[in-house]
Structure 1
Amino acid sequence: MENIMEKTSQVITPDQLLEHWQGHRRLTRKVIEAFPENEFFNHSIGGMRPFADMVMELLGIAEPGLREMVTGVPAQLNEHFEHNNSKERLLEAWDKATDDINTLWAKMKEMDFQKEIVSFGQYPGTVQSSLFYFIDNEMHHRGQGYVYLRSLGIEPPMFYDRS
């Protein structure tokens, strides 16, 4: 009898996925930096939230969601951060979350990316689908930030510049 081993192909490694995600985070940071302080907190089009509110949502999802995956400790979805209308304060929070994501990712070496989870106690999926959601959601809101910047007469960063 033949011994047939199941073969799986891997399209991307976990470290490549992290670099892809962090590239998006670097680009989103450039978008945040491009906003004038007042418009970052107040500019809106068509009833959409100011970009600062979208950034707080991203801060409330990425690092806390990854921490929940790594530790197994349920996380609360919190999209409000004390910032005193300071873009610099939110950039500091962004940078801290970026560093924390790298630290947490290092603990995911043996993570089953197909494991079923419920993010924030309310969003079922897999580790992989949740990570993809975190990245997709960031790209979606960054696109809104691009529209805002253009409406303000500001050229946004090139969408492919993730350095």
Structure 2
Amino acid sequence: MTDSHLLRPSDLLEHWLGHRRLTRRVIEAFPDEQLFTFAPAPPMRPFGEMVWEVHGQTAYNLNGLLGGGWGEPVWERVPSADKTDLLAEWEAQTAQLERELPAFPAARYGEIKRLAWGDMLVFTAVIGAVDNEIHHRGQGIVYLRLLGITPPEFWER
């Protein structure tokens, strides 16, 4: 993709980082004892598990973008059920995005790659990761409300 497209890479990065900042605040809003245990009804998962999924999909995208490896993702169901560990990994991955994504050439967002879930534009894969984060964060916001907790405002990124 070039700068004549809808978003410049710097805009895409800032958009993604804004979502990550908001998701972090949703994680922080959860009581420690509820993050990995509370789910409203089967087969819904606790928010902490969903955040680890988001982390894994982001790692998959970063691996593909930066290293060219778009093979099969490795999904660890829940690497840790500790909120502090999750937040530390979230911050480390966010720092990696901030540090390394600006070097990804804009034209490469228009390449088609074979991902685990089919052939798609690199841009579509990145937007899919952001969409997945938004989807699961929305679930987390509903969970917070069910727990009687006012969630962070979604527009404050």
* Normalised TM-score (structure 2): 0.90
- The aligned counterpart of 1:60 is 56
C-alpha distance after superposition, 1:61-93 (max 9, x if no partner) = 11331221221124533243432x310110001
C-alpha distance in structure 2 between counterparts of 1:82 and 1:17, whole Å: 28
| Counterpart residue identity of residue 87, structure 1 | K
- The aligned counterpart of 1:115 is 111
Out of 89, 96, 99, the residue aligned to residue 92 of structure 2 is 96
SS in structure 1 of the partner of residue 110 of structure 2: coil
Identity level (%): 38
Distance 1:19 1:150, change over 3 A: same
Structure 1 runs of 4+ aligned residues shifted over 2 Å read: 8-11, 73-77, 79-82, 121-124
Higher relative contact order (CA 8 A, sep 6+): 2
C-alpha distance after superposition, 1:24-74 (max 9, x if no partner) = 000000000000011101000132100011001001011331221221124
Alignment of 1:2-151 (within 5 A): 9-47=4-42, 48-75=44-71, 76-83=73-80, 85-119=81-115, 121-151=116-146
Give 5+ residue unaligned stretches, structure 1.
Answer: 1-7
C-alpha distance in structure 1 between counterparts of 2:107 and 2:77, whole Å: 29
Of structures 1 and 2, the larger Rg is shown by 1
* Normalised TM-score (structure 1): 0.87
